[in-house]
């Protein structure tokens, strides 16, 4: 069965914030504590149903290392939304969120973005107040969701919310929309 819509979502943030782990938890329901940094980008697909539409969600895991800054904007092309992730145990990953969001939107426009604070299973080790994340989300007109790729907490909901936001944003940006037939 072919999808009604194909949408590209980017997952952004500093290296080591858990982007790959979030995607893996969402797409195959698994978590691995082994850290392997993404080289460039990795692409995963998952078919979901949102508002009675079959969607092929194409998830681009964008490497967070600075050495990929030069090529990153080519990875953003065609994206209809993004999850921008920070690690609650590393303050600098939160401090860098505005740069990630700004660079992404500079390249693709004012598409939906969700801010994700990951590693909620390490709550006792958090290095910043999550009210700061809420304030940033409010400032840019979006939401903040706390997740844990390790436990699966709010991972499924996060991807469904960004898909709903992207679907609402507008069909003209999608890679493909199946023509309605009578």
Contacts of 67 (CB under 8 A, 6+ apart): none
Nearest alpha-carbon partner for 59 in 15, 20, 101: 20
Contact 30, 24 (CB under 8 A): yes
Q: What is residue 177's predicted lDDT score, i.e. its pLDDT?
A: 47
Reported as a single tens digit per residue, the pLDDT across 90-120 is 999 999 999 999 999 999 999 999 999 999 9
Please spell the DSSP secondary structure of 2-14, one letter per residue: --SEEEEEEEE-S
More confident residue, 7 or 31: 7
Reported as a single tens digit per residue, the pLDDT across 127-164 is 999 999 999 999 999 999 999 999 999 999 999 999 99
- List Cβ<8 Å contacts ≥24 apart for 92-99: 92/14, 93/13, 93/14, 93/16, 93/17, 94/128, 94/132, 94/133, 96/13, 96/14, 97/13, 97/133, 97/136, 98/136
Reported as a single tens digit per residue, the pLDDT across 8-21 is 999 999 989 999 99
More confident residue, 75 or 37: 75
Contact 159, 26 (CB under 8 A): yes
Residue 166 has pLDDT above 50, yes or no: yes
Residue 5 phi/psi, 5° resolution?
A: -140, 140
Q: Residue 73 half-sphere exposure, CB side, CA atoms within 13 Å?
A: 9
pTM of the model: 0.86
Q: What is residue 2's predicted lDDT score, i.e. its pLDDT?
A: 81
Q: Which two three-digit tokens encode residue 107?
A: 């390249």
Which of 27-31, 138-142, 163-167 has the lowest average pLDDT?
27-31
Q: How far apart are CA 69 and CA 72, in angstroms?
A: 5
Residue 178 has pLDDT above 70, yes or no: no
| Domains, the chain | 5-177 (3.40.50.300)
């Amino acid at each position: 069965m072919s999808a009604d819509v194909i949408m590209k979502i980017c997952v952004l943030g500093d290296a080591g914030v858990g982007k790959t782990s979030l995607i893996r938890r969402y797409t195959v329901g698994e978590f691995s504590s082994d850290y392997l940094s993404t080289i460039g980008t990795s692409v995963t697909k998952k078919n979901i149903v949102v508002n009675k539409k079959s969607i092929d969600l194409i998830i681009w895991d964008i490497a967070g290392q600075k050495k990929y800054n030069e090529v990153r904007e080519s990875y953003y092309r065609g994206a209809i939304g993004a999850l921008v992730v920070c690690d609650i145990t590393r303050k600098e990953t939160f401090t860098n969120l505005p740069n990630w969001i700004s660079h992404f939107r500079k390249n693709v426009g004012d598409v939906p973005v969700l801010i994700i604070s990951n590693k909620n299973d390490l709550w006792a080790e958090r290095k910043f107040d999550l009210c700061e994340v809420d304030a940033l989300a409010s400032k840019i007109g979006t939401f903040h969701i706390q997740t844990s790729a390790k436990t699966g907490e709010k991972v499924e909901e996060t991807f469904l919310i960004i898909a709903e936001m992207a679907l609402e944003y507008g069909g003209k940006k999608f890679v493909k929309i199946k023509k309605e037939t009578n």
